[in-house]
Structure 1
Amino acid sequence: MKTMLSKDKKVEKEIFDLATQLYVRLRRVAGRVIDVVYLEHNQEYAQEVVKLALTSGDAELHRLGSRLDAVLSHGTAPTQIASVKFVAPVSAMTPVLEDMPSPAQKEEVPHHYIGALR
């Protein structure tokens, strides 16, 4: 299903991310549930969700609603996050065999019935 609010993939992702964050926050704060997929496809519904977030009185909902409103009105993502590439240190990539437990150490509970509950 194609997002109809934008043709740009970055904007689509931004709308989806903000909608899911709004979903979680609205559910926690106001006990309200929104339809994230429908928000992506319907401009009027998206504006109503923004209105709901802005009038909720919660600072985090207000921030998320403002960001979603900016994305919807401008058609571009207002904040660009630089991609970060994680490089693990060499010592983290090679397993240490001495730290691995032996089969005798793994077996803490005998595998037979001892006649009583512990």
Structure 2
Amino acid sequence: MTDTFTALSDPTRRKLLDRLSEAGGLTLGELGEGLPMTRQAVAKHLAVLEAAELVASHRDGRCKRHYLNPMPLAKLARRWLGRFETVPLGALAGYEGPAAGPRVEAPAA
């Protein structure tokens, strides 16, 4: 799971995941289109995503196509966010954290 957090910590890698989410089966060149970095830099970011199993690759002749693997993200969401699904939203709406300060009431009309 640490690999997943590491991979998601970089905005460029999140951008690559967004692109794969919109259209899977992209080549390295297609993934890097319009990004202000070299092809080698995109390949390094892609290697981190593959190591975290967030991206799966498949050879198509001479091309290597990349696809989003949503399973690690689903496991992450289930583990870290799932516990909050049962919390009533009304309980969260009245939450006042330490930085919230005193509550100011609106004047009566």
TM-score, scaled to structure 2 = 0.26
Structure 1 or 2: more helix by fraction? 1
Larger radius of gyration: 1
Structure 1 or 2: more strand by fraction? 2
TM-score, scaled to structure 1 = 0.25
